[in-house]
Structure 1
Amino acid sequence: MPRGDKSKYTEKQERKADHIAEGYEKRGVGKKEAERRAWATVNKDDGGGKKRGGSGRGKSTGHPAAHKGGRIGGRTSAARPAAARSASAKKAAATRNRRAS
């Protein structure tokens, strides 16, 4: 089997790689580099191809690459006006209080 052969990957893994690559391309990364990063991310998440005979078959995934999202997400909320953040916080607190009782 030649290097780079994707026959051992499931359709879900291929969709996942396509989605990740699209995100990189949207942020200005070149097509080939985006593909490379996407498959590296899928391998990190799933431990390789999941089809019969592929490494990692049947093992669950902890989605380690997905953990990065929490670090990135804070930038957008920090850019919002203080009044909007405060209103969201008050609304969330009210919801928690309502559901607690």
Structure 2
Amino acid sequence: MAAGASPSGSSRKRERQYEHIKESAEERGASEGRAKEMAARTVNKERARSGEAKSSSKTSTGDSKSASQRGGERSHRGAQGPTKDQLYEEAKKKNIDGRSNMNKQQLRQALGR
């Protein structure tokens, strides 16, 4: 895990970060394998962002927020954003007229997305 990390003690920090993320994921119901994968990906991205990794991808370093700052902002959005049902519920909360006859694209437009 600490391979390629700088000798300045940050490898211990990353090991603690890895364990914390893994344990949190397992507490939320992720399998051990999935929890390890999530922790490793997060820690590797943080290492790349801070210059501790020997190499890094554009997606690792190009994001303006770290994974911990982002805190799952992108989760559950998928490739096509919220589902029609999710958009409909939001339109219902905002009391948008005609929402029951709208398709997904129309709901997006009515919600200003």
TM-score with structure 1 setting the length: 0.47
Higher relative contact order (CA 8 A, sep 6+): 1
Query: TM-score scaled by structure 2?
Result: 0.42
